A and B are shown apart, each in its own frame.
Chain A
């Protein structure tokens, strides 16, 4: 997030899109709801599904799946045509406005209505509402990123925010919500194929040299590595021969699971380190038991870049070890002595090579976490990014054309499928499904379908239905609900027994490598 969670309560207008906030980031959603209820902020929800946050919204725009670039361009078309944009900001802090302006001319409300299915007047009203705000915040999640053109979606939202001068301000910003607790930290710490900690590029020789000195090694690789969504197919092709998987369960969470399973089965060697025998661990040659969060010390970085403490509360079961200790033991056996007394010793090392964390110490975050960048021990941390200027100096507008999703419906697969999460389950369910209470509330996989579609297909609520895509099929229970957009069904992806990802499409965004979980074509049939 460019801004903080608390900042949301200071916005005059909040635009929430591609985020089922009340279910996936419940406590953050209460900041949005409070802004509306107590402070009179206006809320615009843009989501194909009638997600619960839309109940609190003043406007709910229901776009066709995968048409985000179109409606965002449409809003900018209205804002520019009606002269509602922040000219001072555009002039002093951005570049390439003219190109954007030229591109969005075509995206008139009527043109957008034809693509996105949002009534023209609604789009105009929403654009006026957003642009009319003193300060407006944009909140988005995987409904924006999990597309074959997710990066375009994200850039389009940044365009919209810059156009109205909403960056670098309390209560404004473009705020992606991180799905898992430490996605932010995993990225910050170099858990990515192209960068070291603090996003220092692996291909930069000076950076490689710095790490060689810090780690006392030579010959660090400078070629950018493979993303998760590339490694799995490369395993299929035999280029990747071994995988060491820590605390992830790709055999439920990956797209096009049937293909992923075949790929993993081809590996010469698979090590899985986890707290449970997951679907992925079952395929491993060696399984290593690790501690869970309640048994370890360390830090997590949340979605607002706040680095916070994790503390040991209980002893681990039998011989489960800290993840870091396991990796260090393997590293030491492979020739690089890696020994640390505790997690704090690791933190002390990492902050020396991670400029944005340099000023953070366990002592400083004992009571309250700090927001990076925090370059030195006197620095108070940075709750709001881009206050004076953008990382690159001026903010760059990207003129982006709408392109349709990778898979469209046809006669054989006439309906769209979109996937997501539920309040009562988490990711692949390895943790939440151990709780009777949570299972009681969300016991099994279902297909959420609009009443008109259910009627057309002769499906009753609670009936079992077969859902198939070009890649696979699952069976699940019908849940008729007006939440679903006609023509589109929704399936939660948590359940291994009826894994939605047997259906999904592995088309990747060319830049982020994120699969198009949010759009694919399916057909439904009554199950025998």
Chain B
């Protein structure tokens, strides 16, 4: 029965696979349903309710991320009822913390007082650190709402800055639970969870300890999953804005998993690293080395000029001189003691192209097979 698994979304008749949710069918067909808490690959929770849609015949709006598509369903993703509900949700979220992007509202005294409070808590005079890179802000623009419809709430928990990598800013946390899923379902590090159920809820590590004293391994999956400014890389917070950077996709230089990364570059420097979403082998995940271990690139200690040792000390040399010296000495030794008196250690750290060249040089120029690398070590 070819027609069995079909439903209608916004007037389009669409096929679905048994078990697919309304959201999955819609996304597969380029119908945009906004989401906040939905995390691909994890169990949908329906927590934020931003993805609600209207299903004809249903008494209430349903969360499309958690509702399986069913035969004959008629779905509306942007009906007036849906839009009304989304606006309300977004307004509530915006008013529930330090969401000091301009969309929160801009009407005089209240706004100024709010800004001053946030700036004091943040020790910064700028707008929110993820301004321009925030799913909540995007939604506020899309639905043209601000946060001043409801009264603001006080900040219940102080910021955590006592680890080298991640700042946890509970004043901007919307409790969507994406970080909890990223940590427990994607990386399975089981370091964080909802704590103090009821009000005010907090995302906690262990028995509400700082991350560094918990099972956290600083993979940063939670930071990458956070749709707002609650989890931000320490080196990036108030230092780097997304529009100032260019992203370059490359492969991690540490272990053999070969994770795909985006290097974020500002003024010729790598200022942040994120996992490349949607691509194998890592599908956006990274570990602490791949994500936070990039300082060496711009280290002061990098070698910058060829060096030649004279009387036991190094002096700088030009490339010409250094290359001549190496070629000259290797030729002498090859002539005097034979090709097999020379060895080359190529490297598991350099590219395939470079290893190929090292192999060609050793065999075709030095005329020895004394080439190996430290794979065994």
Contacts and interface: CB of A to CB of B under 8 A. Distances in A.
A22 B293 contact: no
Given A239-B341, A241-B342, A336-B364, A6 B280 contact: yes
B253 A293 contact: yes
A351 to B, nearest CB: 10
A368 B280 contact: yes
B365 A346 contact: no
A514 B290 CA distance: 27
A154 to B, nearest CB: 13
Nearest to A246: B347
B8 to A, nearest CB: 32
A243 B165 CA distance: 40
Given A219-B367, A288-B322, A327 B358 contact: yes
A337 B241 CA distance: 47
Interface residues of A, number: 153
15 contacts: A26-B255, A28-B281, A33-B187, A179-B375, A182-B352, A182-B355, A191-B371, A223-B369, A228-B345, A245-B345, A294-B297, A323-B351, A329-B323, A438-B289, A440-B164
A194 interface: yes
Contacts of B373: 183, 186, 191-192, 228, 248
Interface residues of B, number: 109
Given A294-B263, A299-B352, 6 more contacts: A191-B355, A240-B341, A246-B344, A317-B298, A318-B304, A423-B287
A248 B326 CA distance: 18
Interface stretch (B22-30, B83-91, B114-122, B330-338): B330-338
A465 interface: no
Contacts of A182: 256, 347-352, 355
A309 B165 contact: no
Interface in A432-447: 432, 434-438, 440-441
A319 B317 CA distance: 11
Interface string A226-243: 111101001100011111
Interface in B32-59: none
Interface in B264-286: 265, 268-270, 279-282, 285-286
Contacts of A294: 250, 253, 263, 270, 294, 297
Contacts of B302: 275-276, 289, 292, 317, 320
B185 interface: yes
A435 B285 contact: no
A315 B304 CA distance: 12
Given A26-B217, A248-B373, A287-B306, A303 B256 contact: yes
B131 to A, nearest CB: 24
A193 B372 contact: yes
Contacts of B328: 333
A241 B353 contact: no
A235 B345 CA distance: 13
Contacts of B292: 435, 437-438
B263 to A, nearest CB: 4
- B165, B268, B325, B360: residue with the most chain A Cβ atoms closer than 10 Å: B360
Contact of A311 (B248, B253, B319, B361): B248
- B259, B290, B374: residue with the most chain A Cβ atoms closer than 10 Å: B374
B54 to A, nearest CB: 31
Interface string A305-349: 011111111110111111110111111011110100001001101
A355 interface: no
B256 A184 contact: yes
A354 B360 CA distance: 13
Contact of A178 (B256, B294, B309): B256
A330 B361 CA distance: 9
A302 interface: yes
Contacts of A513: 376
Contacts of B314: 287
B319 A319 contact: yes
B307 to A, nearest CB: 4
